[in-house]
Structure 1
Amino acid sequence: MADAGTTDRTRWVALYVLCTGVLMIVLDATVVNVALPSIQDDLGFSQSGLAWVVNAYLIAFGGLLLLGGRLGDLLGQRRVFLVGLVGFTLASVLCALAPSQELLVAARFVQGVGGALASAVILGMIITMFPEPREQAKAIGVYSFVASAGGSIGLLAGGILTDALNWHWIFLINVPIGIATLVMALRLVEDRPGLGFGRGADIPGAVLITAGMMLGVYAILQGGEAGWGAPTTVLPGLIAIALVGTFLQRQRVISNPLMSLHIFRSRNVSGANAIMALLVAGMFAMFFLGALYMQRILGYDPLQVGLAYLPATVVMAILGLRFAETLIMRFGPRRILIPGLACNAVGLLLFARTPIDGNYVTDLLPTMVLMGLGNGLSFPALMTLAMSGATPEDSGLASGLVNTTVQGGGAIGLAVLATVATARTDAVSAAVVPSLGALNAGYHLAYVVGGVLVIAAIAIAVAVLRDGGGPAEHAGADGEALPARDEAIAHALA
């Protein structure tokens, strides 16, 4: 019994180590945004050049997630996680010491590569480490909290580090965390062998999907900056569609595909990924445009912005760490997902009534609480459903897919919402409305569009998802959800 208890404790400590790696990578996306003005002043970036401090990371990260997940299945998930973690940590040092614009952008690209490799396999490792449904639901709740709340924690951390020290520390802080995570992962995370390249070493397919994803992310980012009809948006976008289409056709006909398409036959897996994309797109209205509203209109400094999101983070922590497992096991992921999405939709629509002289307690706090409730319920349920089609052989692929969905939904959402907000602001400005009012009108429209996206996610959840769909299912040949382990597990999740 002692040995079993020690093994059980080791698994949970290993989970926290993996989630520390997740948090470090998720934080990096938002912590940099707070420090961008300081980076611009120090290294002399132009406004357009400054965008590449963010975009270089996003292109590498979004483009390599699917490949990273599959490499985990083939080479061993722990090995890919460690390689990614080392790359991310070393690139963080280069970012912190970068003396020029070019070196910083290049280091951010390498950071994105490392972040993609590490994060692509983490959810698959968790599924493998916790095969028992109740423990798996609890572990996914912890992971979901870290993944969803990391953005708001990053805003707070970025404000503290930038105000108290300087922008270099937003990267240097990754070094001790990365080293500690690496040492603990080597000791605690089991090294399971991969399938080997003979089970899916589709090199041409890897080139197609990686190039297609990177060009797709680039096109989305260009759409938000240069316009959706600009040649720099349309041409890369068309090439990306062609590359991804060729990749998918190739996967249908070759004997050892890089990405087995059977995973999409599950209604719950396909539906959960579609809902995830819509939800994350809507959430960017709150996290990014909401932060701009607080800074540009209410006059909050970076630290105050981070503190403003703290109630949402606390509510997410309570639900994700304490109640998610119980609720999923009691009611099933679908039945807690729909109320969670409804909280998110209402929160975004409430955000659309914020005035230019808004009061935090009456105008922002209700939205923060609703968003905390919504994310705390929605993300664990979606992660469970998105992984429900994964077998041990393709858990890395499923993990990479859901992470790709999150990144793709976020990139598209931010580009679309920013474009909508800017167009509305320009239109209202032309009508000779005061500048703050015009700016706020643009934000309001973006919040409404974000709310509509989440409402569309609710419609998909009602129409497509099925009850059950817990962590122990995978897709059969006819697209129905089949029990992957035994009837007792399937019954517990029903």
Structure 2
Amino acid sequence: MTTTTSTPTGSVATTRTPGGAVRDHKWLILTVVGLAQLMVVLDATIVNIALPSAQSALGFTNDNRQWVVTAYSLAFGSLLLLGGRLSDIFGRKTTFIIGLIGFAVASVLGGAAESFGWLVAARALQGVFGALLAPSALGIMTTTFSNPKERAKAFAIFGAIAGSGAAVGLLLGGVLTEYTSWRFCLFVNVIFAAVALVGAVAFLKKRGTTDQKHYVDVPGVITVTLGLVGIVYGFSNAETNSWSDPITIICLAGGVVLLAAFVLIQSRVKHPLLPLRVILNRDRGGSYLVIGLAGIGMFAVFLFLTYYLELTLGFSSLKTGVAFLPMPLSIMLSATVFGSRLLPRVGPRLLIFVGGLLGAAGLALLSRIGLDTSYASTVLPGLIVMGLGMGLIFSSAMNTATSGVGREDAGVASATVNTMQQIGGSIGTALLSTLSAGAVTRYLNANGTSKIDQANAVLSGYHLSFWVSTGVFVIIAIIGGTVLQKHSVRQAQIAAAGTPSHSDVPVAAH
């Protein structure tokens, strides 16, 4: 007879076989949360491919088109910390399942949209439930895998999913738009959510109830939510209007003031939304910074290389998606083969340093693109080299950013990872778009406005964006090599501290 029992981990259901042996379901849980993470990450880009078709079907203007993307990023990015704390309070299985169901329902509503407002509202609702789902998924990972080797392997796979999900979204969006309808770019989420839901019900263990009272830091929730909305919207507005636009200035300045107030509140309240011990740890703080910078640099590839392949080289949406495929494959190879094996041995410092240099090298290769450049000679090697670097960065940084936290902080620590990636992506999109547009204008003013001049002007914008992103990855390498602690120092702290149970033990793997 087979029975299901609880385990001390608080996250893993186990099965007792007829012979009496206990078998846990850690790797099945990894599959479940990985599938949910993939759904959330790819949804940031899969709709981009479908936008022209959706615009044609629903009849909205070019000026309004950005809101289909911005509505999702605003809701998702601003509510992540609240979602992480709710998962700590109500249990990660509960919030994970609610997030899955809500995300699926919002996706169906978006796919069935008959108007622009309907579609934008559905995308915002996706972001709300994504903010509940994403930190729950990573929090489950944090509390499920405690063995150093298993943890390194699991986070390598999870990091590969997080790093390659955007590219997978481009490929899947191209296939669905080409052969079905733009609506299926939203409907497809139901399949992801249904499979993950079955796995969650079967394999996740609900945390036992305790007598501990839980509090929600309302002032913290208000200040951080409005602050992040201001930052994300400010950068989005800068992309479509300008950095000097009054709305841009007000949103960015207000966002910064509110986030400063949030930090002050967190240092004074008894039950903070984001305990400062989570981010002030040297290894975790450095890892959060690395993840945010990687989000900035990565968007140069997804945004401008997509334009280059489609508008300059004349690739179709489907062909563009396939052209990106080597990048997620190299991310998976780097994260699972190299990152998972080396992280327990050498620690994150060396891996993030090498990953940053590889990412910079890949972008430097992409900066060589021309009007008639061969994909195989320039784009392909650039994607592969950058993918190898991204795999090392994400597998190491995500592991380190969630290591050593107490169980009561696992959700909010995980939410901070997603927040940094989301904010980094918003900053990267706006900043690089603005710099690229400026480069185009300067080229045209200096060289003329013939067709060949216009083509070369656009190319100069791409080049500048790739070079700026190259510098971002150099900064990542510097942070990895200086801010993160040496492996030997960290191991000495582990030995002195014993098994970590609180969030100020700076470890790379339990």
| TM-score clears 0.5 | yes
Please, which of 114, 132, 140 is the counterpart of residue 125 of structure 1?
140
Q: TM-score, normalised by structure 1?
A: 0.93
Deviation at 1:75, TM superposition (A): 1.4
Taking the aligned partners of 2:491 and 2:127, their CA distance within structure 1 comes to 31
User: Which residue of structure 2 aligns with residue 252 of structure 1?
Assistant: 267
Alpha-carbon shift at residue 159 of structure 1 (Å): 0.5
Q: Corresponding residue for 2:4? A: none
- Cα deviation digits, residues 24-69 of structure 1 (max 9, x gap): 1111111101111111111111111011000000000000111111
- Find the counterpart in structure 2 of residue 240 from structure 1: 255
Deviates more, 1:275-284 or 1:341-350: 275-284
* CA 1:414–1:131: 2 relative to 1, 3 Å: same
User: Structure 2 CA distance, aligned partners of 1:87 and 1:80?
Assistant: 10
Consecutive aligned runs of 4 or more in structure 1 exceeding 6 Å deviation: 194-197, 469-475, 489-494
8 A Cα contact 1:472 1:483, kept in partner: no
1:437 aligned residue = 456
Q: Report how far residue 325 of structure 1 moved.
A: 1.6
The answer as to whether partners of 1:385 and 1:470 remain within 8 angstroms in 2 is: no
User: Shift in Å at residue 458 of structure 1?
Assistant: 1.5
Matched, 1:163 2:163: no
User: Offset of 1:253 from its aligned partner?
Assistant: 1.1
Specify which of 404, 409, 414 is matched with residue 424 of structure 2: 409
Contact 2:348 2:480 in 1 (8 A): no
Structure 1 pair 469–457 and aligned structure 2 pair: CA distance change class (3 A): farther
Equivalent residue number for residue 457 of structure 1 = 476
Task: Show the 5 A alignment for 1:210-225.
Answer: 210-225=225-240
User: What's the secondary structure of 1:45's corresponding residue?
Assistant: coil
Report the AA paired with residue 448 of structure 2: V
Cα pair distance change 1:121/1:469, threshold 3 Å: farther
**Mapped partners of 2:371, 2:469: distance in 1:** 20
Query: How many Å apart are 1:72 and its aligned residue?
Result: 0.9
Which residue is 1:478 aligned to?
A: none
How far apart are 1:316 and its partner, in Å?
1.6
Q: Is the 8 A contact 2:230 2:254 kept in 1?
A: yes
Aligned pairs (5 A) from 1:22-41: 22-41=37-56
What is the alpha-carbon distance in structure 1 between the residues aligned to residue 415 and residue 45 of structure 2?
A: 21
Query: Is the aligned partner of 1:18 residue 2:33?
Result: yes
**Structure 2 letter corresponding to 1:172:** F
**How far, CA to CA, are the matches of 1:80 and 1:154 in structure 2?**
24
Q: 1:432 is aligned with what amino acid?
A: G
Cα distance, 1:191 vs structure 2: 1.3
Q: Which residue of 1 aligns with 2:244?
A: 229
CA spacing shift, 1:346–1:196, aligned 2, 3 Å: farther
Any residues of structure 2 matched to 1:88-107 within 5 Å, and which?
88-107=103-122
- Length-normalised TM-score, structure 2: 0.90
Report the Cα offset of residue 426 of structure 1.
1.4
Q: Is the 1:388–1:471 contact (alpha carbons within 8 Å) kept by the matching residues of 2?
A: no
Instruction: Check whether the contact 1:483–1:490 (CA below 8 A) recurs between aligned residues.
Output: no
In 1, distance between residues paired with 2:43 and 2:130? Answer: 9
What displacement does 1:180 show? 2.1
Pair 6,295 (structure 1): closer, same or farther in 2 beyond 3 Å = farther
How many angstroms apart in 2 are the aligned matches of 1:252 and 1:47?
Answer: 44
1:138 matched residue in structure 2? 153
1:315 aligns with 2:334: no
- Report deviation, 1:242: 2.2
Query: Quick one: structure 1 residues 253 and 58, their matched pair in 2 at CA, closer, same or farther if it must change by over 3 Å?
Result: same
Compute the displacement of 1:204 (Å).
Answer: 2.5
Structure 2 CA distance for partners of 1:190 and 1:354, relative to 1, 3 Å:
same
The secondary structure found in structure 2 opposite 1:54 is helix
Query: 2:467 maps to which residue?
Result: 448
User: Partner amino acid for 1:3?
Assistant: R
The offset of 1:105, in angstroms, is 0.4
- Return the alpha-carbon distance in structure 2 between the equivalents of residues 404 and 427 of structure 1: 35
> Cα offset for 1:483?
5.2
In structure 1, list runs of 5 or more residues that go unmatched. Answer: 476-480
Return the letter of the residue paired with 1:40: Q
The 3-state SS of whatever aligns with 1:173 is: helix
Q: How does 1:305-454 map onto structure 2 within 5 Å?
A: 305-430=320-445, 431-432=447-448, 434-454=453-473
Specify the alignment match of 1:466 in structure 2.
485
Alignment length (residue pairs) = 487
1:78 corresponds in structure 2 to: 93
Distance 1:34 1:129, change over 3 A: same
Distance between the aligned counterparts of 2:492 and 2:321, measured in 1?
39
Q: Distance in 1 between matches of 2:507 and 2:106?
A: 47
Q: Secondary structure at the match of 1:465?
A: coil
Distance (whole Å) between structure 1 residues aligned to residue 499 and residue 185 of structure 2: 43
Q: CA contact under 8 A between 1:385 and 1:469: conserved in structure 2?
A: no
Distance (whole Å) between structure 2 residues aligned to residue 176 and residue 311 of structure 1? 25
Give the SS at the match of 1:181: helix
Match of 2:80 in 1: 65
